[in-house]
Amino acid sequence: MSPPVPPGTETPGTVPPGIAPADQAFLIDGPAGALEVGVDVPEEGAEPLALVAIVCHPLPTEGGTMHNKVVTMAARALRECGATTVRFNFRGVGRSEGTFDEGRGESDDLRTVIAWARARYPGSQLWLAGFSFGAYVTYKVSAEVQPGMLLSIAPPVGRSWDFSGIAHPNCPWLVIQGEADEIVDAQAVKAWAEKLKPPPELVLMPETSHFFHRKLMDLRGAIKSGVRPWLPAA
């Protein structure tokens, strides 16, 4: 497990003692055993903000991990905006213990990482971001945990995950969806988003597949442009 770090000792843009970058992940205690977590500081040249963004990965049963290329690009875009980013593997992925739990246990995993991040960065605003299944999990817990902002990339509306009855997040919300998504129906996402009150900010990316093939840099730009109005003051 990661060594204990006294809460309140970290400043934005620093990795606490004993905390490794996401490519050198460490373990924290989770609800089903260890959870594999990594922290990355803002990109060089970006002004560090009092902002921590947790980015969640796609479906574990389809090979989703915290190293997924869409997840890493989303995290990079947020770090270029000045955020410290946290990525982690859901239960049963990588070194995270436990087994896949259809979004229920994964929601508990996320709650654990949120509590960990808030304890380590008590003066920072917390944002949530997720891709595909990760977008479902972050949406599911947002009303409860009250993030400063929610970023949903290709939320799997109309698939196996029930989006009905989930409490609306009370925060700024950006949804990014590829119009040529072969897994998630872009029109279903559009119809779902438009019915929400108030609706999220929706960005539809033309000629863009589910995994943003050849469109990752466009995704990066859409994230940076979309979240800019909601960034905390430096």
What is the number of helices (H) and of strands (E) in the chain? 5, 8
Task: Name the domain count of the chain.
Answer: 1
Q: Is residue 187 in some structural domain?
A: yes
The neighbour count for residue 32, using CB atoms within 10 Å, is 18
Q: Is residue 163 in some structural domain?
A: yes
Q: Which is nearest to 56 in space by CA: 117, 107, 12?
A: 107
Q: What is the CATH number of the domain that holds 221?
A: 3.40.50.1820
Residue 213 neighbours by CB under 8 Å, 6+ apart: none
Q: Is residue 232 in some structural domain?
A: no
Going residue by residue through the chain (234 aa), what tens digit of pLDDT does each one get? 443 343 343 444 444 444 556 667 899 999 999 999 999 999 999 999 999 999 999 999 999 999 999 999 999 999 999 999 999 999 999 999 999 999 999 999 999 999 999 999 999 999 999 999 999 999 999 999 999 999 999 999 988 889 988 999 999 999 999 999 999 999 999 999 999 999 999 999 999 999 999 999 999 999 999 999 999 998
Residue 70 confidence (pLDDT): 98
Q: Is residue 233 in some structural domain?
A: no
Q: Is residue 107 in some structural domain?
A: yes
What residues make up the domain containing 201? 22-226
Pairing of strands 84-88, 125-131: unpaired
